Structure 1
Amino acid sequence: MSNRKPYVREVKRTWWKDHPFYRFYMLREATVLPLILFTLFLTIGLGALVKGPESWNTWLNFMANPIVIAINIVALLGSLLHAKTFFSMMPQVMPMRLNGKPIDAKVVVLAQWAAVAFISLVVLIIV
């Protein structure tokens, strides 16, 4: 048995700041924080809706707070960033074929955005 110590490379806590790819990755992953708050706000709103009109009005006043509005805007932007990165990655992860010929990646991405726009329009009409 050897008494030599194995080499252990020191890793700083800010290792991801040195490369643009990892900085973007960390930014994209950090967008989950406002999404968590948005989900929490909606869950509290559902509880307020069940409790009655007074509780519902209190929640509506809370949602009108400029800080909450800013958090919701950041959550929306984070969701759009996630959608963009996911949609652009999908043709590479799951190449699609039609009659044995590969479908262009741009067509797949545009079809996904069209589906998002259609579903959003349907939700806007219903609500």
Structure 2
Amino acid sequence: MSHRQPYVRPMTRNWWQGHPFYRFYMLREATVLPLVLFTLFLTYGLGALVAGPEAWQGWMHFMAHPVVIAINLVALAGSLLHASTFFSMMPQVMPIRLKGKVIEKKVIVAAQWAAVAVISLIVLLVV
């Protein structure tokens, strides 16, 4: 039987601060926290809608608080960051071919943003 010990590389708490790629990765992953809060706020709003007009007005007052507005703006920025990184990597993960030719990455990313704009406009007009 061998008495050798396996090598375990030391991992410090700030391992991600040493490289820009990892810092960006951690920033992108940290944006989930405001998104969770945004989801909880909306769930609270659905409960207030069911509870009646007084609860709904309370939720509307809650949503008008500057801290809640700031959290929602950070959540929006995080969502746009996630969309941007997803849209930019999508042509590399799944190249789209049209008549045997690979479509340019810029065209695919622009088409995705155009779809987001059209869907957002439709939702804005419906609501």
Into which bin does the TM-score normalised by the smaller protein fall? Answer: over 0.9
Unaligned runs of 5+ in 2: none
Q: Indicate the SS of the match to 1:4.
A: coil
Over 2 Å off, 4+ runs = 2-7
SS of the aligned residue for 1:2 comes to: coil
TM-score norm. by structure 2 comes to 0.97
Matching residue of 1:114: 114
Q: Which residue of 2 aligns with 1:60?
A: 60
- In structure 2, how many angstroms separate the alpha carbons of the residues matched to 1:7 and 1:19? 23
Q: State the match for 1:43 in structure 2.
A: 43
Amino acid aligned to 1:125: L
Displacement of 1:13: 1.3
Residues 67-87 of structure 1 show CA distances to partners (whole Å, capped at 9, x for unaligned) of 000000000000000000000
TM-score normalised by the chain length of structure 1: 0.97
Structure 1 residue runs without a partner (length 5+):
none
The alignment partner of 1:122 has SS state of: helix
Rounded to whole Å, the distance in 2 between the matches of 1:43 and 1:115 is: 27
* Alignment of structure 1 residues 1-127 onto 2, 5 Å: 1-127=1-127
Separation in structure 2 between the aligned mates of residue 101 and residue 71 of structure 1, nearest angstrom? 44
Q: 1:7: how far off?
A: 2.3
Percent identity for Structure 1 against Structure 2: 75
